[in-house]
Amino acid sequence: MKIVADAGIPYIKGRIEAYGEVTYVPTEEIDAAAVKDADILFVRTPTKCRPALLEGSRCRFIATASCGFDHIDTAYCAAHSVKWHNAPGCNARSVAQYILASLLLYTDAEGVEPAGITVGIVGVGHVGGAVADALHAAGFNLLLNDPPRAEAENPSGFVPLSEIEARCDVITLHTPLIKEGKHPTRHLADAAFFSRLRRRPLFINAARGGVADDRALLSARRSGQIRGFIIDCWENEPSGIYLPLLDEAFVATPHIAGYSDDGKAVGSYMSLCDVAAFCGMPKPDMQYPPEPENPVIDLAGEENPLLAAVLHSYDPRADFARLKGAPEAFEALRNNYPLRREFPAYKVVNAPEKYAQVLKKLGFRL
């Protein structure tokens, strides 16, 4: 087997070689010529696995170390006997960490407690479910919207989008990008959506670029239809992001919400297992990320212990500053992302009794 692997994918070098002859190619150099002789592609979301890349190649399997898969032309793959697998849920807890950190910064800035905020989660799959768990543990009130799940399961746990629009102080999107069918999500948050909002909410897109209309988002902010916004996923990323959003955002980041090393390690492991299965070989062992630089969080004397603990693990303002300082480096900021560990990598000491159980539910070690 000949394997072409994105050189930027961590936790695979020295391991994927068990399944074939491997060529590592930088993300931006993965083109038709690079993949022509490959039997297997091991990629991420920036690589568009479409006819322009795949036609004329001998590729028969694509492993993408990502939750999303809209970069794969699944219809083309089905028509040309190309199997593919993504890594659903690999980065769910990472996105939850990002959303919770950003929302705690927001509530602190607004001078309100989580218990006074109703959050509408649109899309409650692996990622949206993890976000719901984290926000519930932190004390936020939740409303959940997921039409496909409501149809397939007990609808009593979900509300229609109209109720999200009417009742929520924060609306956060966690849907895939679906362009057609019964429940399309492309431009789900468009000008009409923003016009229907009743509580001037904080709006968050950490789903996929294109689920929100970025120009309509800016217009909604400037007209006062929303109080503010947090954006991690952009239309036309990486090179064509709508730059005016950077100056208006509460937090803006280069599609890194799911970029914890824990999530990367899980995504790479899931994809390696998929390659192993395709090759009819045993699964590899899991490789774990390195320890964080400061794994102990001392909350003695902290005025806001929950915020302090969460920001110690991850502070989105650092990513915001990097993107704002160099928006042209959007993809480079992703490819050279610093080590980031999730809550279970940290031990908390001197946690006030009021917060101890909350921190434990979030995954921190006490």
Q: Is 237 a catalytic residue?
A: yes
Q: From edge to edge, which strands make up the β-sheet containing 170-173?
A: 141-145, 118-122, 170-173, 202-205, 228-231, 251-252
Length of the chain (residues): 366
Q: How far apart are CA 240 and CA 141, in angstroms?
A: 36
From the list 187, 208, 322, 340, the catalytic residue is 208
Structure tokens at 1: 């087997």
- 243 exposure class (CB count in 10 Å sphere: 0-12, 13-18, 19+): exposed
From the list 44, 126, 174, 255, the catalytic residue is 255
Cα-to-chain-centroid distance, residue 52:
27
Burial 304-339 (b: 16+ CB within 10 A, else e): ebbbbbbbbbbebeebbebbeeebeebbebbbebee
Q: Cβ(348)–Cβ(359) under 8 Å?
A: yes
* Local structure of 149: helix, strand or coil: helix
Structure tokens at 252: 């803006």
Residue-wise DSSP of 81-136: T-EEE--TTTTHHHHHHHHHHHHHHHHHHHT--GGG-EEEEE--SHHHHHHHHHHH
Return the half-sphere exposure (C-beta side, CA atoms, 13 A cut-off) of residue 329: 13
Structure tokens at 341: 């560990």
Question: Which one-letter amino acid corresponds to residue 219?
Answer: S
Cα-to-chain-centroid distance, residue 261:
13
Q: Is 208 a catalytic residue?
A: yes
From the list 165, 235, 237, 342, the catalytic residue is 237
Q: Which residues are catalytic?
A: 208, 237, 255
